[in-house]
Amino acid sequence: MDNLIACHGCDLLVDVGNLEDDSRAYCPRCGHFLTRYQRDGMSRVLAYAIAAIVLLLVASSFPFLSFKQAGLESVMTLYGAPGSLARYGMPALGLIVATFIIIVPSLILLLMVMISVPLLIGRRVPWMHAATRAVFALQNWSMAEVFIIGVLVSLVKIMSLATVILGISFWAYSAFSICFILALVSLDRYQCWQLIDQLEAQA
């Protein structure tokens, strides 16, 4: 009974026990992805999460983009972008941008560290269930990669009007998006709860 998982596509109960390292399970009836087992899955989550946190700190400390036109230079920072939207009369949009590109990704990364460290060192912590539920609920609300694609699309337009210089923060945020996605991909919902069950069964 322990290794049964209900398919999200068709509700079939599938036995996903005894998966080999780095193998995935798919529903035999509808082909829906069920779970991916990686022996070092939690170590990967922690490594990518820490890398993403460091890159986000770097992205927050340097200029994101600068524009030069007719001798005038304007510098944009990651934290300045939501503030600029507020100054141009769109405070709600500024708040939404800050929430989806900085606040939610930061929360998810902190929760990942709070889950993966106790699981790796085999220590029970009172917040484990709440943090795990929160990380899976929040992960659909992060738009870091959407933001980077949006910036790239708008750059094509701006480049015809002004000279654009990509700052350290732009590259750091792009690398952050990649590490963030890799951390999300490495955090498998089913395997994570299995590890929590195993940890609690030991105590």
Q: Is 77 helix (H, G, I), strand (E, B) or coil?
A: strand
Residue 7 binds Zn ion, judged by CB under 5 A: yes
Nearer to Zn ion, 179 or 188 (CB): 188
Residue 34 binds Zn ion, judged by CB under 5 A: no
- Is residue 113 a contact partner of residue 121, using CB atoms and an 8 Å limit? no
Residue 27 binds Zn ion, judged by CB under 5 A: yes
Q: Taking the alpha carbons of 51, 53, 54, 59 in that order, is the dihedral positive or negative?
A: positive
Site size toward Zn ion (CB under 5 A) is 8
In 3D space, the residue among 141, 148, 146, 156 whose CA is nearest the CA of residue 174 turns out to be 148
Name beta bridge partners: 4.
Answer: 15
Residue 10 binds Zn ion, judged by CB under 5 A: yes
Residue 32 binds Zn ion, judged by CB under 5 A: yes
Name beta bridge partners: 129.
Answer: none
Counting other chains too, the contacts that 164-168 makes at CB distance below 8 Å and 24 or more residues apart are: 164/65, 164/66, 164/67, 165/65, 165/66, 165/67, 165/68, 166/65, 167/62, 167/63, 167/64, 167/65, 167/66, 167/75, 168/58, 168/62, 168/63
Residue 25 binds Zn ion, judged by CB under 5 A: no
- Is residue 78 a contact partner of residue 102, using CB atoms and an 8 Å limit? yes
What is the closest distance, in whole angstroms, from the C-beta atom of residue 24 to Zn ion in the complex? 14
Nearer to Zn ion, 9 or 83 (CB): 9
Q: Is 142 helix (H, G, I), strand (E, B) or coil?
A: coil
Nearer to Zn ion, 30 or 152 (CB): 30
Q: Which stretch binds Zn ion (CB under 5 A): 31-39, 82-90, 102-110, 142-150?
A: 31-39
Nearer to Zn ion, 9 or 63 (CB): 9
Nearer to Zn ion, 29 or 133 (CB): 29
What is the closest distance, in whole angstroms, from the C-beta atom of residue 35 to Zn ion in the complex? 13
Q: 4, 22, 23, 30: which one contacts Zn ion (CB under 5 A)?
A: 30
Q: 4, 6, 23, 29: which one contacts Zn ion (CB under 5 A)?
A: 29
Interface residue list for Zn ion (CB under 5 A): 7, 9-10, 12, 27, 29-30, 32
